[in-house]
Amino acid sequence: MFKRKKSGFTLIELLIVIAIILILIAIALPNFLEAQIRARVTKANGELRSIATALFDYNTALISASKEGVFPPAGNV
């Protein structure tokens, strides 16, 4: 009688697509998490270098100021 137009996806096709997406996520997720950890470590190393530089500058100013009798301020005032 009437012919139905075939449209949409079958359940098998949808399951295959979902399986492929899950496999890609399983491959990409560990790399993403590792990249986040590396970024945090790099940021921490940069902050430690900044602190070391600030301490070195302060101690250098402290040594030169102690010879003159005037000490540098403790912070940026």
pLDDT of the chain along its 77 residues, tens only?
667 777 788 999 999 999 999 999 999 999 999 999 999 999 999 999 999 999 998 888 777 666 666 666 666 65
Asked if 71 contacts 63 with a C-beta cutoff of 8 angstroms, the reply is no
Gap between the Cα atoms of 69 and 62, Å rounded: 10
Listed in sequence order, the residues at least 6 apart from 61 whose beta carbon sits closer than 8 Å to its beta carbon are 72
Asked if 57 contacts 72 with a C-beta cutoff of 8 angstroms, the reply is no
Please tell me the pTM assigned to this model. Answer: 0.56
According to the model, what pLDDT value does residue 69 have? 60
Number of H helices, E strands in the chain: 1, 0
Q: Phi and psi at residue 3, in whole multiples of 5°?
A: -95, 130
